[in-house]
C-alpha cells in the first residue's frame, strides 16, 4: 500500500519496490557532482531600457534558452529575507506530524494542498518526494481553504512570495519578447490572464538513492518556471535526450529559470523546453520551491514568431488546456507501453526456463 507520508520510510534500510525505477531511468550522475555549464546571469541594469547592459543580459538569456532551456538568475531584486522566510516556513511544514500534513491531503483531485509522490495518476513507479501546492494566480480563483495554515504566518509569506515572483517572471518574459523581435508585452499577452502555481518539493533522505528519482525526467508544461533550491543539490538537466546529465550547481539566492513547453511552442522551437529531473541522496533531505507561470487554460498556443526559412512546429493553434491534455495522455500511454513491455519480458523469461525450474 502507498504510504501516507514519506518521512516514515526515510529511516528504513531498503527502498520499497514501488519507488524502484528501471535501470535506464536511474540516476547516472551524483547529486553533488556539480557542473557550471548552466549560465548564471545577473539582472543588474536590466531596468535601464536604453543602456547596453539590457541588451547584454538579453543576449545571455537567449543563448542559454537556445542551448539548454535553463539559466540561473541573480541580482533579481527579490528580498533575501523573503526568500529565507519562505524556505524556513516550508521546511517547518514538512517537519509537522503526518496527520497535520494530511489535513490538506489533495489526493482525489483537490486543487492545492499536500500529497506524496507523483502527480500523474496511472504512474507505475513513485517519485521520492512530498509536495505542497498553492494555486496562487489568478487571485480571484484562490481557494484559501486549500492553503496550509501551519506553520503560522506561512500564508502571508506565500502571498508576498508569489506576488514578487509574478513580477520577476513578467520582467523575464518582457526580455524574451524583445529577444524574439516582438513588442515587450507579447508573451504576457499570449498568456491572456497568467496562472501561477507554487509547488514546494520536499525530498526526504533516501535509503537507496541510486535506485530511484525524487522527480522523474520531464519538461514543465507552462511558459517559464522559477525554481528556488537549497544548497544540497539534486536538480539535473540533459540536452541530448537523456544520454548525458549534469547536476546544476546550487547558487545561494539564485532562481533557476526553466523554459516550459508553452514557451517552447511560442518561440517556434527556437528556445528549448528544459529537459530535467531531480535525484535524491542518503545524506540529507532537500527542499526546492518551483513557481510555475502558465497561460490561462483557454489561451491559444501557437508560435508568435516564425523566422524566415522556418516552418511552424504546430499544425494549428490549440488551447493550453488541450496542449496539457495531449501531454498527459502521451505520458500515460508511454507509461502503459513500458509496463506492457516489462510484463512481456518477464513472460518471455519464464517461457525460456525449463519447466522444472518454474515449478520449483
Ligand X SMILES: O=C(O)CCC(=O)C(=O)O
Of the candidates 281, 229, 286, which has an alpha carbon nearest to the alpha carbon of residue 252?
Answer: 229
Residue 40 CB contacts under 8 Å (≥ 6 apart), including other chains: 71, 72, 73, 74, 251, 254
Q: DSSP readout, 267-280?
A: TTTSSPPPEEEE--
Residue 253 CB contacts under 8 Å (≥ 6 apart), including other chains: 74, 80, 83
Q: Does 220 bind Fe ion (CB under 5 A)?
A: yes
Sole binder of ligand X in the list 85, 220, 261, 275 (CB under 6 A): 220
Of 85 and 216, CB closest to Fe ion: 216
- The helix or strand, by DSSP H or E, that contains position 132, with its residue range, turns out to be strand 130-137
Instruction: Tell me which residues in 223-262 interact with ligand X (CB under 6 A).
Output: 227, 229, 234-235
Buried b (16+ CB within 10 A) or exposed e, 204-237: bbbbbbebbbbbbbbbbbbbbbbbbbbebbbbbb
Residue number with the shortest CB distance to Fe ion? 220
- Which one of ligand X, Fe ion, none is in contact with 190 (Cβ closer than 5 to 8 A by kind)? none
- Which one of ligand X, Fe ion, none is in contact with 201 (Cβ closer than 5 to 8 A by kind)? ligand X
Sole binder of ligand X in the list 6, 176, 215, 299 (CB under 6 A): 215
- The C-alpha atoms of residue 305 and residue 291 are separated, in whole angstroms, by 26
CB of 203 to ligand X, least distance (A): 7
Sole binder of ligand X in the list 38, 198, 290, 323 (CB under 6 A): 290
> Under rule CB under 6 A, how many of the chain's residues touch ligand X?
12
Number of helices (H), then strands (E), in the chain: 8, 15
Show the site string, 173-202: x = touches ligand X by CB under 6 A, - = not.
Answer: --------------------------x-x-
Q: Phi, psi (5° rounding) for residue 226? A: -110, 115
- The C-alpha atoms of residue 91 and residue 130 are separated, in whole angstroms, by 12
Q: Does 261 bind Fe ion (CB under 5 A)?
A: no
Of 58 and 287, CB closest to ligand X: 287
CB of 35 to ligand X, least distance (A): 14
Other C-beta atoms closer than 10 Å to the C-beta of 354 total: 8
CB of 215 to ligand X, least distance (A): 5
Of 177 and 212, CB closest to ligand X: 212
Residues that bind Fe ion (CB under 5 A): 220
Residues that bind ligand X (CB under 6 A): 199, 201, 215, 220, 227, 229, 234-235, 276, 278, 288, 290
Amino acid at each position: 500500500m502507498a504510504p501516507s507520508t514519506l518521512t516514515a520510510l526515510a529511516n528504513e534500510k531498503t527502498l520499497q519496490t514501488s519507488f524502484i525505477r528501471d535501470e535506464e531511468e536511474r540516476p547516472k550522475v551524483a547529486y553533488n557532482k556539480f557542473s557550471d555549464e548552466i549560465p548564471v546571469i545577473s539582472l543588474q541594469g536590466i531596468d535601464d531600457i536604453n543602456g547596453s547592459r539590457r541588451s547584454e543580459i538579453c543576449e545571455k538569456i537567449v543563448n542559454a534558452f537556445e542551448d539548454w532551456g535553463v539559466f540561473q538568475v541573480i541580482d533579481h531584486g527579490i528580498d533575501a529575507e523573503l526568500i529565507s522566510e519562505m524556505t524556513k516556513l516550508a521546511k517547518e511544514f514538512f517537519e509537522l506530524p503526518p496527520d497535520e500534513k494530511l489535513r490538506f491531503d489533495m489526493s482525489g483531485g483537490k486543487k492545492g494542498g499536500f500529497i506524496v509522490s507523483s502527480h500523474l495518476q496511472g504512474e507505475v513507479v513513485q517519485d521520492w518526494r512530498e509536495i505542497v501546492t498553492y494555486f496562487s494566480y489568478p487571485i480571484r480563483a484562490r481557494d484559501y481553504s486549500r492553503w496550509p495554515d501551519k506553520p503560522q504566518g506561512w500564508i502571508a509569506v506565500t502571498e508576498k512570495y508569489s506576488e514578487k515572483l509574478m513580477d520577476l517572471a513578467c520582467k523575464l518574459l518582457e526580455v524574451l519578447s524583445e529577444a524574439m523581435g516582438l513588442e515587450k508585452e507579447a508573451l504576457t499577452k499570449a498568456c491572456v490572464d497568467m496562472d501561477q502555481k507554487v509547488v514546494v518539493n520536499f525530498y526526504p533522505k533516501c535509503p537507496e538513492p541510486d535506485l530511484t528519482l525524487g522527480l522523474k525526467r520531464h519538461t514543465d508544461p507552462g511558459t517559464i518556471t522559477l525554481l528556488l533550491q537549497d544548497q544540497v543539490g539534486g536538480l539535473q538537466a540533459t540536452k541530448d535526450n537523456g544520454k548525458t546529465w549534469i547536476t546544476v550547481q546550487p547558487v545561494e539566492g539564485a532562481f533557476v529559470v526553466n523554459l516550459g513547453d508553452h514557451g517552447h511552442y511560442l518561440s517556434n522551437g527556437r528556445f528549448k523546453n528544459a529537459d530535467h529531473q531531480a535525484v535524491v541522496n542518503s545524506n540529507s533531505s532537500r527542499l526546492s520551491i518551483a513557481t510555475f507561470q502558465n497561460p490561462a487554460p483557454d489561451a491559444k498556443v501557437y508560435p508568435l514568431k516564425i523566422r524566415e526559412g522556418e516552418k511552424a512546429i504546430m499544425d494549428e493553434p490549440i488551447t493550453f488546456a488541450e496542449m496539457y491534455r495531449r501531454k498527459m495522455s502521451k505520458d500515460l500511454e508511454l507509461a502503459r507501453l513500458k509496463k506492457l513491455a516489462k510484463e512481456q519480458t518477464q513472460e518471455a523469461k519464464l517461457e525460456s526456463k525449463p519447466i522444472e525450474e518454474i515449478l520449483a
